Structure 1
Amino acid sequence: MDNRRYRQNRAGLITLLVVSAVVVAVVVPVSVYFGAIQTSRSTEPSEPRPRTSRTSTGTATSAVQTLDVGSSTQVVRTTLTTVTRGSSTTTETSTSSSVGSTVPEQDLEEIQRVLLRRHNELRGLHGSPNLTWNDELTRFAANYAANNFSCDNVQLIHSGGPYGENLAAGYQGGESPVNAWYDEISLYNYNDPGFAEATGHFTQLIWNTTLELGCAIVNCNNAWSQYTICEYYPMGNIVGSTRERTQELFRQHVPPLLDS
């Protein structure tokens, strides 16, 4: 590990940021659980394809090995309530897998509402427009989680899909994962803007041309507690062909706090 920085986030958690070629932010609430977050970035062709960051498997695995992680029989259920192109739709999907426990419909809907609300509260601090909930993004997130995430072997690996993407494990509810992503603002250098693994969740979260959000969660019956995956469209974290172009893009699309 090349560098370590410790900080206190608003939930009272101690954060260890490991800065290396492959990065995971490991968050350790005292004597409770391990948490991790991961983000993605994309390049800037005319039709950008996502260029995902890689998970630090060694970090995630070593964290899991320190825990008493039990297996369980699990189902992912996702209820989607969205307004898309002027119409309101409600869809329910049920997928059997070994990734996490059943999420009660009422609880899931409330977490999704909180995820959207918290995103928009934080984006508003920067003058970024409100996001709207999108059922396709939510379905994509739920399907990826159901088929690729395991509570028994927690690894934050990106889908490689056509959207921006933030991942988190070890944070409960709708506010705490979003707060953890946003807390990276303390590491972002507006005087030298650009993509970095340590701040990529924050920059995607407030990227001002992203307009739609869809998230899914998996409840883990172990110390990891909850897996959260959020998809963003249009994607943010666009990296240009040169350093100067990347700086220009991030200066344009990652606005500072309005009162700064």
Structure 2
Amino acid sequence: MRLALYIFTFLMIVVLHTAKVGTRTPPGGSPNHLQTTRKDNPNHEFHQLCRQAHNKYRKIHSAPPLKSNSTLYIMARSWARRLAILDDTSKVTHRPGSGFGENIYWMPRSKAPYKEYAQKAVDAWYEEEKDYDYSHGVYSSQTAHFTQLVWVSTMEVGCGYNVSKTNTTFVVCNYAPQRRHSRRI
């Protein structure tokens, strides 16, 4: 019993230390705003590339730039990892009951550098804009990724990726607050 307590304590210290590495609170910001301090971390860099790609498109629609959120980032990375472990694109599902918005993209047999996945995923979601009905502005499953990407009330994002054994890259972005189906962008 005592050994189990020591192991648990050690693991908690490792987890807490690992969670703090690579992030810091910006001046005047909240701890949920992720800022990259380790330039050598490909996951943080990927997240920042996704956020920048989102903000490029959001600017076109006069939506405010998204801020990074460490909780959303961790959730996105863990879900992308789960999808990569399952390694079956026919069974891709959204994380149930998260309360956050979520976009998922996958690229089979991908060989491009990870940096390219960020832009490709966001570009694919934005391509749905051509099917968006601006005159009615209602929810459509054909434009769900696009509307989540540019929805004016969404303020924070966290993105992650993972590559499966068969080289399928899974990209997941989580959003807060979640886009509501009945509202205009």
Q: Give the TM-score normalised by the residue count of structure 2.
A: 0.71
Contact 1:131-1:211 within 8 A present in 2 as well:
yes
* Partner AA of 2:170 in structure 1: Y
- Whether 2:135 is the aligned partner of 1:191: answer yes
**Other-structure match for 1:158:** 94
Q: Specify which structure has the bigger relative contact order, considering alpha-carbon pairs within 8 angstroms and separated by 6 or more residues.
A: 2
Determine helix, strand or coil for the equivalent of 2:171. strand
Contact 1:83-1:133 within 8 A present in 2 as well:
no
Determine helix, strand or coil for the equivalent of 1:191. coil
Contact 2:154-2:176 within 8 A present in 1 as well:
yes
Note the C-alpha offset of 1:221: 4.0
- Percent identity, please: 26
Moved more, 82-91 or 160-169: 82-91
Which of 44, 64, 86 is 1:109 aligned to?
Answer: 44
For 1:187 and 1:82, the matched residues in 2 are separated by 40
TM-aligned CA distance change 1:141 to 1:114, over 3 Å: same
* Partner AA of 1:159 in structure 2: R
Note the C-alpha offset of 1:113: 1.4
Q: Could you say which structure has the higher helix fraction? A: 2
Note the C-alpha offset of 1:193: 1.7
For 2:54 and 2:34, the matched residues in 1 are separated by 21
**Other-structure match for 1:227:** 170
For 2:173 and 2:73, the matched residues in 1 are separated by 8
Determine helix, strand or coil for the equivalent of 1:157. coil
Gaps of 5+ in 1: 1-76, 92-104, 240-245, 255-260
For 1:188 and 1:81, the matched residues in 2 are separated by 37
For 2:122 and 2:25, the matched residues in 1 are separated by 22
Which of 60, 66, 80 is 1:131 aligned to?
Answer: 66
- CA RMSD for the aligned pairs? 2.8
- Whether 2:78 is the aligned partner of 1:143: answer yes
User: In the TM superposition, what whole-angstrom CA distance separates every residue of 1:203-236 from its partner, at most 9, and x where no partner exists?
Assistant: 0000001000001110234252x10110000111
Determine helix, strand or coil for the equivalent of 1:218. strand
Q: Give the TM-score normalised by the residue count of structure 1.
A: 0.52
Aligned pairs, number: 153
TM-aligned CA distance change 1:80 to 1:165, over 3 Å: farther
Q: Could you say which structure has the higher strand fraction? A: 1
* Partner AA of 2:178 in structure 1: M
Contact 2:80-2:172 within 8 A present in 1 as well:
yes
Determine helix, strand or coil for the equivalent of 2:92. coil
Determine helix, strand or coil for the equivalent of 1:118. helix
**Structure 1 residues 165-176: aligned runs within 5 Å:** 165-170=102-107, 172-176=116-120
Note the C-alpha offset of 1:117: 0.4
Gaps of 5+ in 2: 1-17, 111-115
